[in-house]
Amino acid sequence: MFKRTLVGAIAIASGSAAAQSTDALVLDPLLVTSPRSESDWFTLPMAVSARATEDQPGEQLLTLDSFLAPIPGTVSQSRYNLAQGMRLSIRGFGARSSFGVRGVRVLVDGVPLTMPDGQTEMDGLDASLVERVEVIRGPASTIHGNAAGGVLSIETRQPSATPRTQVELTGGELGYRRARAETSGTVGALGGLLAVSSTRLEGYRPQGVAETNNLTGKVRWQGETGTLSATLHAIDNRAEDPGALTLAQVREDRSQARPQSLQFDSDEWIRQQRLSLAWEGQAAGDDSYQVRGYYGRREFGNRLPLQSNGQTSYDRWFAGIGLQRTFRQAWAGLPNELTVGLDLESQRDERSRHDNLDGGMTGALTQRQRESADSRGVFAENQLAFAEGWLLTTGLRYDSVRLDAKDRFLDDGDASGGRTLDDWNYSLGLSRQLDEHHVLYGRYATSFETPTINELANPAGGGFNPSLGPARAANREIGLKGEWPGLRYEAVIYSMRIEDELVPVVDGRTFYTNAGRSSRDGVELSAQWLFGQYWQLTGAWSYNDYRFDRFDAYDGNRIAGIPRQSLFTEVGFDREAWYARLNLNVHDHQYADNANENRVAGYAVANARLGWRVSMGGQRWEPYVGVDNLFDRDYYDNLRINDNFGRYYEPAPGRTLYAGVKLTFE
């Protein structure tokens, strides 16, 4: 689909074009916080991108895919199958996941959403509250620890300074219905926010009904020496799973469900409550410090489209605490910023498995065990401006992850066991400001990723897979950044080497193995441009050459689940009364299996958004309409990598229309 040439890509700036009402268009300054302390994007020697939700009005928000599409190096799948959840990969990290997110560290308002064993379920987030996302592209374990092959940092809406209430109703094809309400305000030093939402999606295929319910409450207190924030988030979700199809089944009827999904009533249900606390304080001089913690419970159950061990349930308790302090003091007269910190996290799962009988009836108990993960990490990160136009960043971190399983189903023997996996990681970055508008940088960084508890499952029975170990990666990159009042761009070339990459193998259930050695080389281009008083142009392009260097019979094969090239581009018109956007997502071919015998063709999908803003008294109405897959193209919403019997394909719906209205009282 693509020629092997560098393709320019253009993207509109994060944040509002505050100067749209004047002749001179100026991008807002771009500051990033995902590297632990606030930094200037322009001089930071790191590939990091940011998007604000005000750049994406009128979105359906089933997942965060619309926010991530303009960021090069990212691929998100499974928009319409809420039982699988959004699958995100960053420079290939996370591509192995059969559901949810792996290999990528996810933070919400600075607090980890990722579990101590490295798995992340994006259902623990109300996408309607998201105001901004940042993505560190590539290994960042020196900053965020285990499973930080990439980092997704999410900032959500805080209590408003003045009273504000918003009601939103949305509906569309595929049985899509959504209602939400939000109110917030601040009195003196104390602010509060309460948001509730309910979404129903019947889906493109049978056995695809999903219902999600979210409640979020926030309290924020501003004191003389710092800010205290508390957030409570609760969900109650159920989602059916239509399953993946073979190519023959797709050609017969792409809208059908997998027969076994109907036979065994495949689905999952989740109930979760999560409380997080964060204190951001000022210390002596310009120094600052943070204390953050979280505690939660997750109840989960599912039914897989098979009989043996086909039902799983667990009751999980999880908690964590993080401490960090930033020292802003000159070294030998040179500006310097040193951040040191500690992260402690823990989870406990009471897991059981049963056979799954026809109609989803519960069969005999086949496994019961208590699983635990305990993670400890200490780190130091330093930024030194050692000469005019030069910035040196260094980082060092040690992580230790203890994984245990206590077998409580002894009919087939005692499979109890434990593993301790630890590693040192480090990074080095150097940037040189060439002139007022250009910065050249280089970076070397490593990462460490343990298998998650469920990935350590033993194919031979209970306990852990004794042959499965952690993956380690080293990333080298060179980047060029440019910035003008109305234009911002970035070009990056990177090369990674991964030892013992984690790869899925499916035989009914999904198990994992280590690939001996693999390589990932790529190019990423993006830019940000305001080219008219109301016009915006957005885009991102990436080229990926990911291969197994040493892996059984697959030496030299492409790594499955990653398109060779990806392109996003969008043109938008936005003024006070109305807005319109048209974008195009293009993905090159990819493979569905390690053997590279099943090549999945590339595709291009266009989407359109149109909305109006009408103010009447103290009310603001925002009706909007959206069309996904504007030209009704056939493509796949998700691929199940290495699934057995060729069941790789989850077809996406054709042209899909939705509309909504947002009413705001201020």
Rounded CA separation 203/653 (Å): 9
Contact 175, 201 (CB under 8 A): yes
**Is 443's pLDDT higher than 60?**
yes
Rounded CA separation 10/568 (Å): 9
Question: pLDDT (tens digit, 9 = 90+) per residue, 312-323?
Answer: 999 999 999 999
pLDDT of the residue at 418: 86
| Mean pLDDT value across residues 285-312 | 94
**Is 458's pLDDT higher than 80?**
no
Q: What percent of the chain has pLDDT over 90?
A: 74
**Is 20's pLDDT higher than 80?**
no
pLDDT of the residue at 95: 86
Question: pLDDT (tens digit, 9 = 90+) per residue, 202-215?
Answer: 999 999 999 999 99
In order of their start, the domains of the chain are 31-665 (2.40.170.20)
Tokens of 432: 């040189």
Total count of residues recorded for the chain: 666
**Is 6's pLDDT higher than 50?**
no
pLDDT of the residue at 459: 66
Rounded CA separation 394/406 (Å): 40
In the three-class reduction of DSSP (H, G, I as helix; E, B as strand; rest coil), residue 551 is classed as: coil
**Is 539's pLDDT higher than 50?**
yes
Closest Cα to residue 495, out of 519, 515, 471?
519
**Is 38's pLDDT higher than 90?**
no
pLDDT of the residue at 461: 60
Kindly tell me the sign of the dihedral angle through the C-alpha atoms of 3, 560, 116, 212. Answer: positive
Q: What percent of the chain has pLDDT over 70?
A: 95
Contact 400, 420 (CB under 8 A): yes
Highest mean pLDDT out of 143-157, 433-447, 529-543: 433-447
C-alpha atoms less than 13 angstroms from C-alpha of 350 in its C-beta half-sphere: 5
**Is 476's pLDDT higher than 50?**
yes
Lookup result for tokens 């070397």: 444
The answer for 110, left when phi > 0, alpha when psi is -120 to 50, beta otherwise, is left
pLDDT of the residue at 508: 61
Going by pLDDT thresholds of 50, 70 and 90, the confidence category of residue 509 is: low
Buried b (16+ CB within 10 A) or exposed e, 224-245: eebbbbebebbbbbbbbbbbbb
| Mean pLDDT value across residues 532-537 | 89
Phi, psi of 662 (to 5 degrees): -120, 125
pLDDT of the residue at 13: 35
Tokens of 8: 């320019």
Query: What is the rounded average pLDDT for all residues in the chain?
Result: 90
The type of residue at 283 is A
**Predicted model pTM:** 0.93
Kindly tell me the sign of the dihedral angle through the C-alpha atoms of 322, 234, 315, 303. Answer: negative
In the three-class reduction of DSSP (H, G, I as helix; E, B as strand; rest coil), residue 646 is classed as: helix
Rounded CA separation 187/206 (Å): 49
pLDDT of the residue at 284: 85
Question: pLDDT (tens digit, 9 = 90+) per residue, 212-269?
Answer: 999 999 999 999 999 999 999 999 999 999 999 999 999 999 999 999 999 999 999 9
pLDDT of the residue at 99: 77
Closest Cα to residue 567, out of 543, 547, 546?
543
Question: pLDDT (tens digit, 9 = 90+) per residue, 138-184?
Answer: 999 889 999 888 999 999 999 999 999 999 999 999 999 999 999 99
**Is 84's pLDDT higher than 60?**
yes
Question: pLDDT (tens digit, 9 = 90+) per residue, 398-408?
Answer: 999 999 989 88
Contact 226, 279 (CB under 8 A): yes
